[in-house]
Copies of this chain bind each other. A is one copy, B any other.
Amino acid sequence: MSRITLADVIAALGGDLVGASDIEITRLGPLEGADSGTLSFLSNVRYQSQLQSTAAVCVIVAPAFAEAAAARGAAIVTPDPYLYFARLTQWWAARVRPQATPRIHPSAVIDPSAVLGEGVDVGALAVIEAGVTIGPGARIGPHCVIERDSQIGAGTRLAARVTVGFDSRIGARCIIHGGAVIGADGFGFAPVKSADGGRWEKIEQLGAVQIGDDVEIGANTCIDRGALDDTVIADGVKLDNLIQIGHNVRIGAHTAIAGCVAIAGSTRIGAHCTVGGAASIVGHLQIADHVHISACTLITRSIAKPGQYTGVFPFDDNASWEKNAATLRQLYSLRERLKALEKKL
């Protein structure tokens, strides 16, 4: 990798430079722990005090902090430092990471009916079944399995060990991390009643999965195929690791969901929502646009109004928790006793 200077950064990403343009940058990093080759950023007022103490050679700041930053060294001034920094990481990664050589490894098993676009890079030992179409510039990592009649959009990237089930459609410029399973059967069974307690009869899952453009899907996340209609993930959705998306769920555009969230079947989540880690949403609900669900919260009813929703037992030292939790079992009767007292007075 060649020498990178602040001039290169400004040329690529804009911003107002305060300081010498020939300063060399050797790494990106947080204010804390920065060294004399570090380009850093200040996006959260909480870390403001680190601005004076950091050893970073240059700091990306908002106009409000331009003076304070300039007083200590070079700075790039831009209206949204965090967004600037995001773009900087992309530009940086493109420069410093070795470029994958476009290739289809001879060990890959590709059905002759599969259609591979220009510049498609299929990694070693990938399995591409019959009827698959892969858009130009897509990358399929080692040990991926793309089942029959699926479509992978242009420029989409599958890490190692991803499954895309039959009939699935994945849009352009998506990133799917390792171990994700797209298009496994939804969890659908009809109860068969009988005197001995009964059993479950499988409902074959006849729908598929549709994923829009610019979607990112985390490692070991599962998105089930629909029972009759499809499961649908709209454009720009970001899903973290180990998330479960049940059959026929629909997630609106640009919604972001943190790790370990479980969303049960047929629930529809609006656009521009956020869901905190390990939250759950039961099935057959409607969640409006711009709803924000806190971590570890179970949503049990539809939500029509934008806003933040929470349902978490606040943690405490174990002894205090035990006292309060035990009393919780008497809460209804405490209310009745309070009512009785109020009546008396």
Which chain A residues have a beta carbon within 8 Å of chain B's beta carbons? 27-30, 33, 80, 82-83, 85-87, 89-90, 92-93, 96, 98, 105, 107, 109, 123-125, 127, 141-143, 145, 147-148, 159-161, 163, 165, 175, 177-179, 181, 184-185, 187-193, 197-206, 214, 216, 218-220, 222, 224, 227-229, 236, 238, 240-242, 244, 246, 253-254, 256, 258-260, 262, 264, 271-272, 276-278, 280, 282, 289-290, 294-300, 307-318, 320-332, 334-335, 337-338, 341-342, 344-345
Query: DSSP class of A's interface residues: helix, strand, loop or mixed?
Result: loop
Asked whether A325 lies within 8 Å of B314 as measured between CB atoms, the reply is yes
Interface contact A280-B280, CB-CB below 8 Å: no
Identical copies of this chain, number: 3
Contact A93 B206 (CB under 8 A): yes
Partner of A312, one of B205, B298, B341: B298
Given known A33-B229, A127-B123, contact A262–B278 (CB-CB < 8 A): yes
Q: A83 and B190 in contact (CB under 8 A), knowing A264-B258, A296-B280? A: yes
Q: Contact: B163 with A145, CB < 8 Å?
A: no
Q: Which residues of B sit under 8 angstroms from A241, Cβ to Cβ? A: 181, 184, 187, 222, 224, 244
CB distance from A161 to the nearest CB of B (A): 6
25 contacts between A and B (CB under 8 A): A30-B229, A82-B191, A92-B204, A93-B204, A123-B127, A124-B127, A159-B163, A161-B181, A163-B178, A187-B218, A197-B271, A222-B241, A242-B262, A260-B260, A276-B282, A310-B318, A311-B321, A312-B313, A312-B321, A313-B325, A314-B325, A314-B326, A316-B329, A327-B331, A345-B345
